[in-house]
A and B are shown apart, each in its own frame.
Chain A
Amino acid sequence: MTAVIPPSKSRQLRACLLCGLIQSSNDFRFNGCPNCEDILQLKDSADRVMTCTSTYFEGMIAGIDPENSWVLRWQRTSKYVRGMYAVRVRGRVPEDVEAELESRGIKYRPRDLSLDQD
């Protein structure tokens, strides 16, 4: 499955704080994040989109073949949909999402490269 590839010149590009997927804010609002929708529940919630995605990202990856790509494995997105990903996204998900992740036993890894030391 492939995420919607936004037009590259769009100013409204946002990156998902959880998986780093880049979409336009409208796409996030209409379709949610194809990877993280069940947790973030972005669909139809502009607020949610604002808090769980960020315009402050850097480095764009064209994830063409995530399953076989080392780049996407390194980014821990190889199991996700094809699409554009950010190398780095600034910011953390809201606390309720962190709590949700914790309750599911998922380790939260912010995408701002702050945990790369290990």
Chain B
Amino acid sequence: MSDVEDHGYDNYDQEGDERHEENEEDVENDDTNDEPPRRKLYEDDDDEDEEEEEEEQTGRKEKKRAKHRHKRDRAARFLDIEAEVSDEDEEEEDDEEYGVDGFIETGGAEDDDSSRRHHARLARRQMEEEEKSPEQIARDLNQRYGGRAAVRYTGDMNEIPQRLLMPSVHDASLWQVRVKPGREREIVFSLMRKSIDLEYTARPLQILSAFQRDSLPGMIYVEARSSQQVSQAVNGLVGVYPSRGIHLVPIEEMASLLQIKKQDTTVTPGTWVRIRRGQYAGDLAQVVDITENGEEVGLKFIPRIDLTPRDDGGDKKRKKTAGMRPPQRLFNFEEVVKVYGRNYVSKRGPAFVFQGDTFKDGFIEKDFKINALILEDVNPTLDEITQFSRRQDGLEENMVDLSIIAEASRKAAISVLQPGDHVEVFEGESAGVHGIVEEIAQDVVTISPVGVELEGQKVELPARSVRKRFKPGDHVKVMTGKNADETGLVVSVTDNVVTFLSDMSMQEVSVFSKDLREAAEVGSGTNVVGDYELHDLVQLDLQTVGVIFKTERDSFRVLDQNGQVRMVQPHQISMRRDSNRAIATDSEGHELRVNDNMKEVDGEGRKGRVLHIHQSFHAFLHNRDITENGGVFVTRARSLVSLAPKGNPLKLAPGADLSKMNPAIQPQGGMVGSGMGRGPRDRHIGASVLVIKGPHKGYQGTIKDTNGQVARVELNTGNKLISIDKSKLYRKLANGKTEPLDAPSFNRGPRNGNMDPPLSLPNGNRNSNPYAAAGGRTPGWGGGRTPNPHANSSATPAWNSSSRTPNPYAGSATPAWNASSRTPNPYAGGQTPAWSASSRTPNPYASGGATPGRNHSASSGGWGGATPGRNTSWGGDGWKSPERSGWGSDVWNAPTPAASAATPAASAPTPAAFAPTPGAYAYSSSMSAPTPGVVPNTPGVMDYEDSAREPYSPPDDWLLDDRIAPHQTKLRVFIQGSVMPPYLDGAYEDRTAVVVGTTRVRENFEQTAFLRFDDDGEERSILSRYIKPVLPKSQDEAALVICGRRKGEMVRIRQKPDSQETIEMVVVESIGSAGAAYWECQKDHMCAVVG
């Protein structure tokens, strides 16, 4: 080491060395302090040599001080007067005052008092060195002191290539330690301080270093020889998780831990950044200049000056906190002066100073710390950039500043380039060349140019100077930004702004070329628009639901339950429906749920996965292989069959009591999948119980809820709810006796009596599949002797109420149904053969469903009294009559008497008497809701609710009614009322005709229709108000319903009208789309049609 280098830095040398040596000594010999005198002996020799050399070499003023010290030391050699502490002081003095030392050897290790302590060791070393060769000694010396000069910046290590510093097996290992995220720095600091604190103790830390990287949160790395040293070091530190393992870092990964570097976010003038905090948070700014150390940057951005400052002047703080921040607005001298006064704004050259900020060209220029800025993902929008460029200065008003935009898109451009992209070079010496990207290596792209001169060569270019090239006519897709996924046809290209015509919105969209990609596909990749998603079941209007099978930019295509495709916008959807729990019945009577794989039994035999079920009737399925409607199709649940064999019917419902699942009493034969998603209600709920054990022993109460073996019991006394084990409860019977809760008994209570055999019933009873139950195929039903209606009525309130009633019927052989129905007569026949017969009929609903309904109305009291005729016929021998038994097979033979029975009722003077009738039908409709074919007839009947048999006269424009108009050319009409006052001389009065056509005329004109008269074939237009429908007269005649809910439906008369009364009810059969359904219709609600 040269003199020059050493000059003046020895104070550091010394100290570093001393400290180092001290350390060693400490480690080697903990009881150093015991032997200071011996040390001094050695020390003195050294000191003397040293002293002389020093004097010779330096001759500076330090000499004096050194001498002084020397003297003191001489005395001290005999007196161990110096306390250990004083070393520190001395050292510090040395640090400050000892500036120069000529020789390496004298450099400081031998400095008098401070080095005393390692003389013992030096002596040892001397002994050793005497045995060494001179070369060895020289090398050792070099090794030992060569580095000493480094405790000042020598940079001697700077010359060593980094690769030579790679760790070797001789180096200590790195250990990864898990720590609490966010506390990494603190922990590294703690380790540092801990090691200093424990340095001179008996157990110093043995780790060599520890470090943390911001990019590796939740871990620190400790350099040590063994993991034990690491755990010893971190022991006791808060936030360190040594229990999560101290992992050895493989030697080859050590260097990379220190090499990690965040993607360089170099800031150069012109770079776009965003401001992180404060009033301008989120605002885009452009870098104007950067301080030398790169810590602060000068930014230019659009100021937000409050031009409407509040007047409450002094209260600055409140002003700052309250209110919104002012809008972005360029600085305008006049404006600001007007608001704040001339004194507040000063002009300095081209710039203005206002409130301590400098404004130039309308922009504010301000210095920011770099960590107050967002440098990554700035993504300036075109709008923001044009705001800058437009206002740059007056001259370039319309020019979009190329460099600005280029800069903005540059960085991103590098990452979005792909091999095969067509690019052009827009800067540098090859500017203008375009070609195809061959390969990309970091920032360098290789392109094979398409052009005259360079054809065939490959050119390497910085990625930042190429941009994607599009030409008008290209079909492109937007990859990022707010227009993402938009596709379209390029119409123009201006530099790197591409304008294209969107495929979806048919509007022009301008985007940066970097965000574009050539793409063949059309349409949007998104499946979500608004709150709705692909394959959602949505309610379109009251009657219509549909499944979204395609989403577009802001609309959907929906397949409704009628199989029609509609284009819908999100606001037209009233709600999304959830059919996750919906269940339907497939063609085999099995349960059908969402996500089942099903197949059509008829029609096209399409397969698919059930997406949704609507009202247990329609099923929406999806199959990728079907191209039509995005693979979604709708079909009737009844025409589906499962692709997979149905699983175990014993599927355990959550919370189900195993004891209820006794296979012996399970339904057999086709009751598949009757296990419901919802667990059956515990049959103990509501039971009156007596506590027989525990602190509440003797209390009575009611079970409110159960959870497994624990019941929640509401005590009759104290209004208290307790949780108690079921085994501690006894059921309290009505007769005052008690019995175990689970004791099998037929006499237990209303419910159990009813549900006999009780244990199977929770299943059958709650089956969502009424068919299975109604079909009476369950052995439970057979044994139960209970007629069909029970299954259905289980859902009615009547059932519940009856089940909760105290048990007056216990022990009764008659099912509780009788009791609850409260009608003594007709249903006493519950056990009559007639009933079982009807329950076995193929269409049990027609009877079974309707019966409770009537029953219901009967209980309301209206029925029996009001229609005596009917009452007798039903209540008397009606049930046993052959007609009745024929109901199921030939439904409409049976109603005939009923209908005719209605006739006298209609003439009954009390219209109120009639009210219950529709009620009865209504009830039956709700009961049989899932049965197609029966459903439609009921609402029709309900139509008469209000119109109760009043002659109907159609409005003047009835022909134009939306639902009639499609059939209008078939309608048979006649002319009425043209005599008085005369219309066309009354020549057409009473003549029948067929409508040829009519269209709505404008207001203020009388509506006409074009008719062809039957008798002479004359065709002419007639004022609509004279046109009246021809009523159907004969059986099997076709007619159109022109009034009521079923308006527009084609029917066929199935019952010969036997009177001239226009309000006569006739039985009709729906034909066409609604399927065959029989119902009654008032005659003048129909219009006869041709054919």
Least CB separation from A61: chain B residue: B211
- The secondary-structure label for the interface of chain A is loop
- Within A42-94, the residues touching B (CB, 8 Å) are 50-52, 54-56, 58-76, 78-84, 87-88, 90-92, 94
Q: Mark A1-39, 1 if CB is under 8 A from B, else 0.
A: 110010111000000011100000000000000111111
B259 contacts A67, CB within 8 Å?
A: no
Residue pair B19, A62 in contact (C-beta under 8 Å): no
CB-based contact B167/A54 at 8 Å: no
With the chains together, A19 CA to B159 CA distance in Å?
Answer: 14
B600 → chain A closest CB, angstroms: 65
B170 to chain A, nearest CB (A): 9
Cβ-closest 4 pairs across A and B: A79-B150, A106-B155, A8-B189, A91-B293
User: B213 to A56, Cβ gap below 8 A?
Assistant: no
CB distance from B128 to the nearest CB of A (A): 20
B153 touches A106 (CB 8 A): yes
Q: Pick the residue among A50, A54, A71 that contacts B211 (CB under 8 A).
A: A71
The interface of chain A, by Cβ under 8 A from chain B, is 1-2, 5, 7-9, 17-19, 34-40, 50-52, 54-56, 58-76, 78-84, 87-88, 90-92, 94-95, 101, 104, 106-109, 112-113, 115-118
Complex interface bits, B146-165 against A, C-beta within 8 A gives 1, otherwise 0: 01101111111111111101
Check if B155 sits within 8 Å of A87, measured CB to CB. no
Give the residues in chain B near A79, CB-CB below 8 Å. Answer: 16, 147-148, 150-151, 154, 156-157
Q: Is A73 a contact of B293 with CB atoms below 8 Å?
A: no
Q: Which of B160, B184, B211, B259 has the most CB of A within 10 A?
A: B211
| CB<8 Å pairs between A and B, sample of 11 | A38-B9, A38-B153, A56-B295, A58-B214, A62-B189, A70-B174, A71-B208, A79-B148, A82-B19, A91-B292, A113-B261
> Given A5-B193, A74-B165, A80-B150 in contact, is the A87-B207 Cβ separation under 8 Å?
no
Q: Known pairs A66-B209, A70-B171, A72-B208. 11 more at Cβ < 8 A?
A: A5-B193, A34-B12, A56-B371, A60-B184, A60-B212, A70-B223, A71-B211, A74-B162, A79-B16, A87-B258, A112-B261
In the bound complex, do residue A69 and residue B208 qualify as a contact, i.e. CB atoms below 8 Å apart? yes
In-complex Cβ contact of B258 among A8, A71, A82, A101 (8 A):
A71
Q: Which residues of A contact B254 (CB under 8 A)?
A: 70
Q: A5-B196, A58-B213, A61-B211 are in contact. Are A106 and B158 (CB under 8 A)?
A: yes
Convert B163-186 into 0s and 1s, putting 1 for each residue whose CB lies closer than 8 angstroms to a CB of A. Answer: 101010001101000000000111
* Whole-angstrom CA separation of A73 from B147 in the bound complex: 12
Inter-chain CA distance A82–B261, complex, in Å, is 24
Which residues of B sit under 8 angstroms from A58, Cβ to Cβ? 213-215, 262
Q: Tell me whether B196 and A2 are in contact (CB under 8 A).
A: yes
Q: Please report the C-alpha to C-alpha distance between residue A3 and residue B191 in the assembled complex, in whole angstroms.
A: 15
Given A55-B371, A81-B16, A94-B292: A108 in contact with B195 (beta carbons within 8 A): no
Chain B nearest CB from A60 CB (Å) reads 5
Instruction: Give the interface of B toward A (CB within 8 A).
Output: 5, 8-9, 12, 15-16, 18-20, 23, 147-148, 150-163, 165, 167, 171-172, 174, 184-186, 188-193, 195-196, 205, 207-215, 221, 223, 254-255, 258-262, 292-295, 369-371
Nearest chain A CB to B209 CB, angstrom units? 4
Query: Is A65 within 8 A of B209, CB to CB?
Result: yes
CB closest chain-B residue, reference A70: B171
Q: Note all chain B residues with C-beta closer than 8 A to A62.
A: 188-189, 191-192, 195, 209-211
Q: How far is the CA of A36 from the CA of B192 in the complex (A)?
A: 21
Partner of B207, one of A64, A72, A78, A109: A64
Complex contact A91–B294 (CB within 8 A): yes
Q: Is there contact, CB below 8 Å, between A35 and B208?
A: no
Cα–Cα distance between A74 and B223 once the two chains are bound (Å): 12
**B294 pairs with A36, CB closer than 8 A:** no
Q: Which residue of A lies closest to B214 (CB)?
A: A58
**Are A51 and B292 in touch, CB under 8 angstroms?**
yes
**B254 to chain A: closest residue by CB:** A70
Shortest CB distance A37–B (Å): 7
Distance in Å from the Cβ of B186 to the closest Cβ of chain A?
Answer: 5
Smallest Cβ-Cβ distance to B167: which chain A residue: A70
Q: A58-B214, A87-B258 are in contact. Are A8 and B151 (CB under 8 A)?
A: no
